[in-house]
Structure 1
Amino acid sequence: MNAYVQSIDHGRIRELRLARPPVNALDPALCRALIAGVEGAVAEDMDAVVVSGAPGMFSAGLDVPHLVSLGEDRHALQAAWGAFFGAARALAGLRIPVVAAITGHAPAGGCVLSLCCDYRVMARSPDPKRPFTIGMNETQVGLAVPDGAQQLMRRVIGHHRAERLLVAGAMVPDEEALRIGLVDELVAVEEVVPRALAWLEPLLRLPRAPMLQTRALARADLIRALDPEHLHLDRFAEGWYEPDTQAGLRALLARLGKA
């Protein structure tokens, strides 16, 4: 266990629970903690990993107030984005199966992390009028979605549907996310981790080497999508300072009460 990620073992499966209240915002420290948790699971020869969050919130995505606080420090901004995509690559490149236990809302970076996993179990909101949502809402606050991140969504729900959601910055309600295949299961919040573990059980009973080799081949495109050459973080850092982006970020901070 470390300050931001709790490690909980379920037999040979390790749950890595994001634990940075109140919304598991992904600052560099949390991203590094997640990478360390993934590396620790491999080093200790665990059979699989489950990544979970808090009830009602998987992760709110990158820590925008932290990013804004960096001001004109482009190097620090690019490093922060690099830490996030390092965590995404750690999940995508994990040589053992990994399931996203999406315990609530998963906007932006939270959605990206879930798409790096083999399987996604999402919580159904207890209030149908206020569903949990998942998606990449970057354009809503004036940010472009890097091509590598776009590819993650395309491989799961198809090019045309992904284009519509990404360009609009749409957040998809839980039931709709299940219908379009953005998530694989929808269950009560208290059942999210148990269902993630249950999905892994038959997979882990298969002959290990052939299963892992087949999985590696099937996920090669996922790893390529997150190669730095497809992310262009230098370009993204420059775009951060565009007037439209800065206006969108100020509006977001105002809504968060941090302006």
Structure 2
Amino acid sequence: MITTHRHGDILELQLARPPVNALTPELLAALRTAVEAAPAEGARGIILSGGAKVFSAGMDVPHLMGLDTAALKAGWASLFSAAHAIAASPVPVVAAIGGHSPAGGCVLALCCDYRVMARGPFRIGLNEVQVGLVAPDAIQHLMRRVVGVYRAERLLVAGELVESEQALAFGLVDELTDAEHVVQRALVWLQQLLELPNPAMLATRSLARADLVGALASFHEDDLDGFLTEWNSPHTQAALQALVARLGK
């Protein structure tokens, strides 16, 4: 479910679960393993890429709805584990977002050092509210640190997905380019970063990202109990069933 591509000393990890890279516990575990293994394999930087029109559609809701309570909790915990692996990576990680990136896809992108997104009618954001869910504070922290407290409040409370130009204006992504060039632009940014004196750059990066790593490290599986109560509530289940019906079409 993860395809690797070598670009010299930069490793591209491509989500490869068609058609929309919906996130399952298995895919997230594979991503975590690949991110954690990359530096030991000689990677000085990582590019996280996805599909041509969808970076990742977020968590695989139909799959999750078929799980029992314990497996459901473990499934959501796997998102936090993968996110923490990206945030805590000792080498820089760039998201090459070639299309839509809602919910869990946005979470993974927000954990990266830099985000290059395809220009066009592609949407990104945390839309949990729209299906009756509250994004945990660790996830809300990811949004606050890149767009600011007030802008994050507006986006999170509305569960808003914004198109690429607006995402750039808000600072949710760092750069736009044509869809076919997102990996190349991510590669260029990483190569320029890696030309800097490496020990100083990496030490500065570690200090600058300590809040991000700390927010995700402070999350524990038991913190999901309230989230899962919301998940199982009648109004959220109705919204999720409607979502699954739309996906089926």
Bin the TM-score by the shorter chain. over 0.9
The corresponding residue for 2:177 is 187
The corresponding residue for 1:62 is 59
Question: How far is 1:45 from its partner?
Answer: 2.4
Separation in 2 of the partners of 1:141 and 1:109? Answer: 14
Separation in 2 of the partners of 1:236 and 1:228? Answer: 16
Letter in 2 for 1:154: R
Verify the 8 A CA contact 2:132 2:230 in the aligned structure 1: no
Letter in 1 for 2:75: A
Give the one of 93, 96, 100 matched to 1:101: 96
Separation in 2 of the partners of 1:228 and 1:23? Answer: 30
Answering whether residue 23 of structure 2 is matched by residue 33 of structure 1, we say no
Question: How far is 1:69 from its partner?
Answer: 0.8
Separation in 1 of the partners of 2:27 and 2:19? Answer: 13
The corresponding residue for 2:5 is 8
**Structure 1 residues 37-52: aligned runs within 5 Å:** 37-52=34-49
Letter in 1 for 2:224: L
**Structure 1 residues 208-227: aligned runs within 5 Å:** 208-227=198-217
The corresponding residue for 2:87 is 92
For structure 2, the 5+ residue unaligned runs are none
CA shift in 2, pair 1:100/1:5, >3 Å:
same
- How big is each residue's C-alpha offset from its partner over 1:59-112, in whole Å with a ceiling of 9 and x where there is no partner? 000010011111xx2111110001111110110000100000001000000000
Question: How far is 1:230 from its partner?
Answer: 7.2
Separation in 1 of the partners of 2:214 and 2:228? Answer: 21
TM-score by length of 2: 0.97
The corresponding residue for 2:227 is 236
Separation in 2 of the partners of 1:227 and 1:64? Answer: 25
Separation in 2 of the partners of 1:33 and 1:43? Answer: 16
Letter in 2 for 1:221: D
Q: Secondary structure in 2 aligned to 1:101?
A: strand
Separation in 2 of the partners of 1:228 and 1:249? Answer: 28
Verify the 8 A CA contact 2:24 2:60 in the aligned structure 1: yes
Separation in 1 of the partners of 2:178 and 2:164? Answer: 11
Letter in 1 for 2:150: H
Separation in 1 of the partners of 2:236 and 2:218? Answer: 22
The corresponding residue for 1:128 is none
Separation in 2 of the partners of 1:161 and 1:140? Answer: 18
TM-score by length of 1: 0.93
Separation in 2 of the partners of 1:37 and 1:233? Answer: 25
The corresponding residue for 1:257 is 248
Q: Secondary structure in 2 aligned to 1:229?
A: coil
Separation in 2 of the partners of 1:229 and 1:197? Answer: 31
Separation in 2 of the partners of 1:46 and 1:217? Answer: 21
Question: How far is 1:228 from its partner?
Answer: 4.3
Letter in 1 for 2:201: M
Question: How far is 1:202 from its partner?
Answer: 1.7
Separation in 2 of the partners of 1:135 and 1:151? Answer: 13
Separation in 1 of the partners of 2:226 and 2:134? Answer: 10
The corresponding residue for 2:156 is 166
Separation in 2 of the partners of 1:106 and 1:47? Answer: 25
**Equivalent pairs, count:** 248
Verify the 8 A CA contact 1:142 1:247 in the aligned structure 2: no
> CA RMSD, aligned part only?
1.2
Give the one of 100, 105, 110 matched to 1:110: 105
For structure 1, the 5+ residue unaligned runs are 126-130
Question: How far is 1:234 from its partner?
Answer: 2.0
Letter in 2 for 1:210: A
Verify the 8 A CA contact 1:32 1:83 in the aligned structure 2: yes
Give the one of 71, 75, 79 matched to 1:76: 71
